[in-house]
Amino acid sequence: MHEFTTWLASTPLSHAIQRALWLIVLLQTIHILAVAMVLSSVAMIELRVLGFTRSQTMTQTAHRFGPWLWTGLVLLASTGIPLIIAEPGRTLDNNPAFLLKMFMLAIAVTAAVVFQVSLRRNAASWESRPRPSTVNVLATVTLFLWFAIAVAGRWIAYVREG
């Protein structure tokens, strides 16, 4: 991996992004705004699952905030990849924070897909109350998993090779 990252860091594309520091700040800013999109969408859906907000149905809430969640993820990938290309050693040289972040992201995205599929198939049971406590626990855990992804993301800057 180290040879790959050294090569990637020497490419014209990598140099181009590095030269424009403001571009990296801009990419990171959009990345953070996309984090805001994703975290807020997840939070609004979780709040509905946990019953903190009741003015809309579970299905309405998922339809309202689902698209923002997925758009946010696309933006995160679209900004994340150029950021990796700009400074490949920072993430790809076995940075444990980055690896942990990607691992948790895979789990969180899977959970989001499973939730959407389940809601589409069993809308009625999702609208009914009381909700089994397992669901509430899973909802809370998922929310904190997304938080943990954000934390791991910040720690990329502080942690280097494992």
Least distance from other proteins to the Cβ atom of residue 139, Å = 16
Q: Give the relative orientation of helices 12-19 and 2-10 as an angle to the nearest 10 degrees.
A: 70
Paired tokens of 4: 């790959």
Q: Are 73 and 109 within 8 A, CB to CB? A: yes
In the complex, minimum distance from the CB of residue 79 to other proteins, in angstroms, rounded to a whole number: 12
| x/- track of binding to other proteins for residues 43-72 (CB under 8 A) | xx--x-----x-xx-------x--------
Measured from the CB atom, is 135 or 159 closer to other proteins? Answer: 159
x/- mask, other proteins, residues 122-151, rule CB under 8 A, reads -------------------------x--xx
CA distance 40 to 38: 6
Specify the amino acid at residue 61. T
* 43 Cβ contact partners less than 8 Å away, ≥ 6 residues apart: 143
The binding site for other proteins (CB under 8 A) comprises 21, 25-26, 28-29, 32-33, 35-37, 39-41, 43-44, 47, 53, 55-56, 64, 147, 150-151, 153-155, 158
